[in-house]
């Protein structure tokens, strides 16, 4: 996976869901090792190459399902969901990878099908956080028909769109974690430049919203981004780095101004001491030493007696909060 420094990647497994696609998805996508789980993890890890394992802590795998029906879809959910069409019922079951018995959604929630992508009168898709479903609305007689073309598109264009979305999700969250893990007291121009470079690298390599000539692949990707609030996450990261940049600029300006002010203030006793020594005595190493001591003494008196001088010294050394 691009920009992942831990050697992680994305594995894609193509399967035949069989006669009960919801149950097949539910068994494969559950990766938790607790009671009643772990079967999907065992099956999937058995198919991976030697030395490769599923991410520790992952509770669910992402799914993409494409289902068609010889006679068109029929309603399969209980009475509370009579307000949903048969296609909407299948879309939610397949996109969520959960049966109604395991998790019953709110039938009146207007956001349940907000991730719907309408392709044509023949098929429709629903994008959720952890899964995407494509359901044929017209009968599928099999063989060389429109649904065979749709299947090829699901296994190529739309799968690619979702893989790009997954890479964007992991990369942006990695940047957000780096920003959140950087203490304000640690911020300087080098740290800020590294964070901004990382974000720019992600945006230049992965942050796309147009990946196909026609709009439906782009819409699938945008629905994935919306489900994970990726545009908002990117905006928050940019705003955080902009605020950090203003802070670093203010601290740098304060330090430079304090240094220049201290040079001006401390230059006064140095100039007076050496000028007086040159005026009243002959050049001698002892005169240099005495002038230096007088300059240091004058500087200490100024730093002690003059409050702005003390403030400039604190501003020069203090970066974090009081």
- Asked if residue 302 and residue 159 are part of one domain, the reply reads no
Question: Looking at the 3D structure of the chain, how many domains does it have?
Answer: 2
In this prediction, residue 322 has a pLDDT band, given cuts at 50, 70 and 90, of very low
- Domain boundary (145, 176, 205) is at 205
* pLDDT per residue as tens digits for the range 295-313: 667 666 666 666 666 566 6
Domain for residue 229, yes or no? no
- 220-247 mean pLDDT: 93
Quick one: what percent of the chain has pLDDT higher than 90?
47
Q: Residue 86 and residue 278: Cα distance in Å, rounded?
A: 101
- Please tell me whether residue 150 adopts helix, strand or coil conformation: helix
Phi (first) and psi of residue 128, to 5 degrees: -115, 180
Domain for residue 114, yes or no? yes
Domain for residue 236, yes or no? no
Phi (first) and psi of residue 126, to 5 degrees: -135, 125
- Asked if residue 148 and residue 32 are part of one domain, the reply reads yes
Domain that holds residue 299: 249-317
Contact 195, 182 (CB under 8 A): yes
In this prediction, residue 35 has a pLDDT band, given cuts at 50, 70 and 90, of low
- Asked if residue 307 and residue 188 are part of one domain, the reply reads no
Does residue 148 carry a pLDDT above 80?
yes
Contact 151, 123 (CB under 8 A): no
Domain for residue 188, yes or no? yes
Helical spans, DSSP H, in 30-113: 39-47, 86-96
Pairing of strands 63-67, 131-136: parallel
DSSP state of 118: E
Q: Residue 63 and residue 164: Cα distance in Å, rounded?
A: 14
Higher pLDDT among residues 276 and 171, named by residue: 171
> pTM for this one?
0.80
Question: pLDDT at position 261, please?
Answer: 67
Domain for residue 9, yes or no? no
- Asked if residue 272 and residue 171 are part of one domain, the reply reads no
Does residue 149 carry a pLDDT above 70?
yes
Does residue 287 carry a pLDDT above 70?
no
- Asked if residue 198 and residue 257 are part of one domain, the reply reads no
- Asked if residue 144 and residue 260 are part of one domain, the reply reads no
């Amino acid at each position: 996976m691009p920009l992942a420094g831990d050697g992680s990647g994305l594995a894609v497994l193509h399967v035949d869901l069989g006669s009960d696609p919801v149950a097949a998805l539910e068994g494969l996508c559950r990766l938790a090792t607790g009671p009643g789980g772990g079967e999907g993890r065992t099956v999937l890890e058995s198919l991976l190459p030697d030395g490769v394992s599923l991410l520790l802590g992952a509770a669910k795998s992402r799914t993409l399902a494409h289902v068609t029906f010889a006679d068109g879809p029929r309603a399969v959910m209980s009475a509370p969901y009579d307000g949903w069409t048969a296609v909407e019922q299948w879309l939610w079951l397949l996109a969520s990878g959960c049966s109604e018995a395991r998790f019953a959604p709110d039938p009146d929630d207007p956001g349940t099908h907000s991730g719907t992508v309408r392709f044509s009168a023949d098929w429709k898709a629903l994008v959720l956080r952890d899964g995407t479903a494509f359901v044929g609305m017209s009968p599928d007689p099999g063989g060389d028909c429109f649904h065979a073309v749709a299947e090829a598109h699901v296994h190529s264009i739309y799968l690619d769109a979702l893989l790009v979305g997954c890479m964007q999700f992991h990369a942006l969250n990695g940047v957000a974690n780096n920003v959140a893990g950087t203490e304000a007291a640690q911020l300087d121009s080098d740290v800020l430049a590294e964070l901004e470079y990382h974000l720019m690298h992600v945006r230049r390599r992965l942050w796309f919203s147009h990946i196909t000539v026609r709009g439906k692949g782009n819409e699938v990707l945008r629905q994935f981004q919306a489900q994970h609030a990726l545009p908002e996450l990117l905006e928050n990261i940019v705003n955080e780095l902009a605020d950090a940049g203003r802070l670093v600029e203010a601290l740098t300006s304060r330090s430079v101004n304090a240094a220049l002010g201290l040079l001006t203030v401390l230059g006064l006793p140095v100039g007076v001491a050496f000028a007086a020594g040159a005026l009243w005595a002959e050049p001698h190493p002892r005169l240099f030493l005495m002038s230096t001591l007088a300059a240091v003494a004058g500087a200490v008196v100024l730093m002690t007696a003059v409050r702005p001088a003390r403030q400039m010294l604190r501003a020069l050394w203090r970066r974090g909060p009081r």
